[in-house]
């Protein structure tokens, strides 16, 4: 799996994307981070002609990254609402029967409809207050709509009536606008008609808005801090085919450091080898910032992804290329031990050197990745189709850090990964553990995992297993995913050797059959060319 630069972007997107995340009365401005409390009366702007910047957001109401964007949009509106034309639309899907679907389930469709109704019925100031209230607890949407309606001064009766009579129509119209804008990831943001790839924060939004104003500039724009220069060194190896960093650098410049300057150093030079050894690095590429990064406005947002390495701060990306080891597919004896490629001991287990095992299917996931939940749910139909002829296994993607593990979706994902591994260990026979996984996948963000440990599956036994060997089980999966250089969730592995991506049962079955045409369900079967319209496409970690 060629992944280094794209997987690194996902770590950055953990701070910011669910992919593949009219001017009106405004409430009195307040601190961007302060929660909304109590009802407010709208303050109507005078009917003077003001230059306005169009800001378009395309989101999913239960996407954490979309929620962050909506919170930032409220802070932006509080700051310069008189100069904004703000419109929020929602990303969903329609299947062949015309039924609406959404990445985070039917509850997300309800949340989308609620926010669209408020946007239709009330001034923008009221809408952003309501949307921000829901976004503060996005995982519970739509359960909190009445509280948020009261908080924003929205009539419960009007909102309930609108969602019942117009909600679906508003959502379908909103979906069409999102499709017209080619918005498939939440959030997709346009400011003054241009894609916004910078930070999804008040300052991140303010910069392009202020730069787009040509007339009277609001006072808030005049107080924006200047962006300092940031310097980075990239230590890489030209022999590595999967170590490209150009896309990563462009995204760092667009999202975090507009004045980023980069120097590239190759491991093959004496200076490169010396730096690799001095910093005790293990894998490349290494993205190394000097102290200038601490002065950047976005430093606080990125700090959790930076590690102190010598005098540098290294960006934590899932780099896996060891420049001191044999490269397993270049036909050269890189280590000088007389053994080439797969004959070298360091290549044992690498994807390119793995033995093909017919009728085997593995999947590599993150337990709180919505795409993984969709893909694993599709295994119900896949396993039913193959009727026991398929050897199926499931593994988890994490990063090893001092004292434990780190996961893309936080500590809760690490814990759930261990619970699911224990369920697999305890209830592997007949794939009974999948009942627990399918239940958890239906509400993967919920803390109430015990409700899915029912029937023959014991919550007490899972807890005991996690305490005793959860870390060891997860560590074994980390070793495997690192060895195979897999970081995107879900990634499928057919016949122990061939990776592919897909979410629908049809797409998964088609790939299995491509590698196993003699299996009974595969005979006379036509390959699937696309995902069904009702399913999203994408992955976490790409």
Domain boundaries, the chain: 17-198, 355-522
CA atoms of 39 and 154, how far apart (whole Å): 9
**For position 184, what pLDDT does the model report?**
85
| Residue 410 CB coordination number (10 Å) | 12
Q: Assign 304 a pLDDT band (cuts: 50, 70, 90).
A: confident
User: Would you say residue 242 has pLDDT above 50?
Assistant: yes
pLDDT at 365: 97
Average pLDDT, the chain: 87
Phi, psi of 234 (to 5 degrees): -110, 115
Residue 76's pLDDT is 95
What angle, 0 to 180 degrees and rounded to 10, lies between the N-to-C axes of helices 124-135 and 145-152?
A: 140
* CA distance linking residue 323 with residue 286, whole number of Å: 12
Q: Is the dihedral of CA 398, 401, 406, 408 positive or negative?
A: negative
Q: Does residue 119 contact residue 128 with C-beta atoms inside 8 Å?
A: no
For position 2, what pLDDT does the model report? 38
What's CA 295's distance to the chain center, in Å? 27
3-state SS assignment for residue 171: helix
| Residue 377 pLDDT > 90 | yes
For residue 62, give the nearest of 161, 119, 183, 143 by alpha carbon. 143
Tell me how far apart the alpha carbons of residues 359 and 307 are, in angstroms, rounded to a whole number.
Answer: 42
pLDDT in tens, 524-537: 776 555 545 445 55
Report residue 198 as tokens: 């910078």
Whether the bond between 162 and the residue before it is cis, its omega within 30 degrees of 0, is no
Read off the pLDDT of residues 378-432 as tens digits, 9 standing for 90 and up.
999 999 999 999 999 999 999 998 889 999 888 999 999 999 999 999 999 999 9
Neighbouring-strand partners of residue 223: none
Calpha distance 120→125 (Å, rounded): 12
Residues near 82 by Cβ (< 8 Å), separated by ≥ 6? 23, 26, 45, 50, 218
Instruction: Using pLDDT thresholds of 50, 70 and 90, give the confidence band for residue 95.
Output: confident
Is the pLDDT confidence value at 48 over 50? no
Instruction: Return the pLDDT at 536.
Output: 53
| Nearest-angstrom CA–CA distance, 365 and 373 | 9
User: In the predicted model, is pLDDT for residue 56 greater than 80?
Assistant: yes
355-522 has the same fold as 17-198: yes
| Nearest one of 84, 364, 95, 111 to 210, comparing CA atoms | 84
| pLDDT band for position 450 (cuts 50, 70, 90) | very high
Beta bridge partners of 356: none
H helix runs in 137-222, sequence order: 145-152, 156-165, 167-180, 202-212, 219-222
Taking 70 as the threshold, does the pLDDT of residue 480 lie above it? yes
Fold of the domain built from segment(s) 355-522: Glutaredoxin (3.40.30)
Domain 17-198: CATH superfamily is Glutaredoxin (3.40.30.10)
Looking at residue 537, its pLDDT comes to: 59
Burial bucket for residue 211 (CB in 10 Å: 0-12, 13-18, 19+): middle
Among 16-25, 229-238, 243-252, 526-535, top mean pLDDT goes to 229-238
Q: Where are the alpha helices (DSSP H) in 213-327?
A: 219-222, 246-255, 270-278, 299-302
164 neighbors 181 (Cβ within 8 angstroms): no
Tell me, what DSSP letter sits at residue 235? Answer: E
Inter-CA distances, 43 with 80, 124, 153, 434, 524, Å: 14, 11, 13, 54, 67
- Give the confidence band of 348 by pLDDT, cuts at 50, 70, 90: confident
Q: Where are the beta strands (DSSP E) in 295-442?
A: 306-309, 312-315, 360-365, 391-396, 399-401, 404-406
- Per-residue model confidence (pLDDT) at position 25: 27
Predicted confidence at residue 334, as pLDDT, reads 87
CA 397 vs. chain centroid, Å, equals 13
CA neighbor of 478 nearest in space, from 366, 422, 398, 540 = 398
Tokens for 77, please give them: 């509106």
Average of per-residue pLDDT across 261-274: 97
Q: 308 - beta bridge partners?
A: 313
Predicted pLDDT at 527: 59
- Band of residue 4 on the pLDDT scale cut at 50, 70, 90: very low
pLDDT at 50: 62
Question: How much of the chain is helix, strand and coil, in % rounded to 5?
Answer: 45, 15, 40
Nearest Cα to Cα of residue 160 among 114, 106, 108, 105: 114
pLDDT of residue 524: 76
**The dihedral sign for the CA sequence 294, 295, 298, 301:** positive
Instruction: Give the residue-averaged pLDDT of 247-265.
Output: 91
DSSP H or E stretch at residue 266: strand 260-266
pLDDT at site 319:
86
Q: What's the CA gap between 478 and 414, in Å, rounded?
A: 12
Q: pLDDT confidence of 15, banded at 50, 70, 90?
A: very low
pTM above 0.85, yes or no: no
């Amino acid at each position: 799996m060629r992944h280094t630069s794209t997987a690194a972007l996902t770590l950055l997107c953990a701070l910011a994307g669910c992919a593949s995340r009219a001017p009106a009365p405004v409430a009195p401005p307040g601190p961007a981070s302060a929660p909304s409390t109590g009802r407010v009366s709208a303050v109507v702007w005078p009917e003077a002609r003001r230059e306005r910047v169009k800001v378009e957001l395309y989101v999913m109401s239960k996407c954490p990254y979309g929620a962050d964007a909506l919170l930032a949009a409220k802070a932006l509106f509080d700051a310069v609402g008189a100069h904004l034309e703000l419109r929020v639309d929602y990303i969903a899907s329609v299947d062949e029967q015309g039924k609406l679907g959404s990445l985070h389930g039917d509850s997300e469709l309800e949340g989308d409809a609620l926010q669209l109704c408020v946007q239709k019925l009330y001034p923008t100031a009221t809408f952003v207050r309501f949307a921000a209230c829901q976004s503060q607890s996005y995982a519970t949407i739509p359960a909190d709509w009445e509280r948020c309606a009261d908080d924003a001064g929205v009539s419960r009766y009007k909102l309930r009536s609108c969602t019942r009579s117009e909600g679906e129509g508003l959502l379908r119209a909103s979906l069409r606008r999102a499709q017209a804008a080619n918005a498939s990831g939440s959030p997709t943001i346009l400011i003054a008609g241009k894609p916004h790839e910078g930070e999804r924060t008040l300052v991140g939004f303010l910069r392009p808005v202020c730069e787009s104003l040509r007339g009277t500039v609001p006072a808030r724009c005049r107080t924006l801090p200047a962006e300092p220069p940031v310097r980075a060194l990239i230590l890489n190896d030209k022999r590595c085919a999967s170590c490209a960093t150009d896309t990563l650098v462009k995204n760092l410049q667009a999202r975090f450091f507009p004045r980023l300057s980069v120097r590239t150093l190759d491991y093959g030079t004496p200076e490169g080898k010396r730096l690799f050894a001095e910093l005790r690095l293990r894998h490349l590429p290494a993205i190394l910032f000097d102290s200038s990064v601490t002065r950047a406005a976005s430093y606080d947002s990125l700090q959790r992804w930076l590690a102190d390495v010598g005098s540098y701060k290294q960006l934590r990306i899932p780099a896996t290329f060891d420049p001191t080891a044999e490269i397993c597919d270049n036909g050269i004896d890189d280590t000088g031990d007389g053994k080439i490629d797969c004959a070298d001991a360091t290549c044992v287990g690498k994807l390119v050197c793995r033995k093909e095992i017919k009728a085997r299917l593995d999947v590599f996931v993150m337990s709180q990745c919505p795409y993984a939940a969709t893909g694993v749910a599709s295994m119900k139909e896949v396993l039913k189709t193959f009727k026991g002829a398929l050897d199926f296994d499931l593994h988890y993607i994490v990063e090893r850090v001092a004292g434990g593990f780190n996961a893309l979706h936080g500590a809760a994902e690490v814990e759930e990964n261990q619970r699911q591994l224990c369920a697999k260990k305890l209830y592997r026979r007949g794939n009974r553990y999948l009942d627990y996984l399918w239940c958890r996948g239906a509400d993967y963000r919920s803390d109430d995992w015990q409700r899915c440990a029912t029937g023959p599956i014991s919550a007490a036994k899972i807890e005991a297993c996690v305490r005793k060997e959860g870390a060891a089980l997860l560590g074994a999966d980390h070793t495997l995913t690192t060895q195979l250089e897999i970081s995107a969730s879900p990634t499928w592995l057919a016949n122990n050797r061939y990776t592919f991506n897909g979410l629908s049962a049809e797409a998964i079955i088609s790939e299995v059959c491509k590698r196993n045409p003699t299996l009974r369900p595969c005979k006379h079967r036509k390959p699937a060319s696309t995902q069904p319209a009702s399913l999203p496409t994408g992955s976490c970690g790409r």
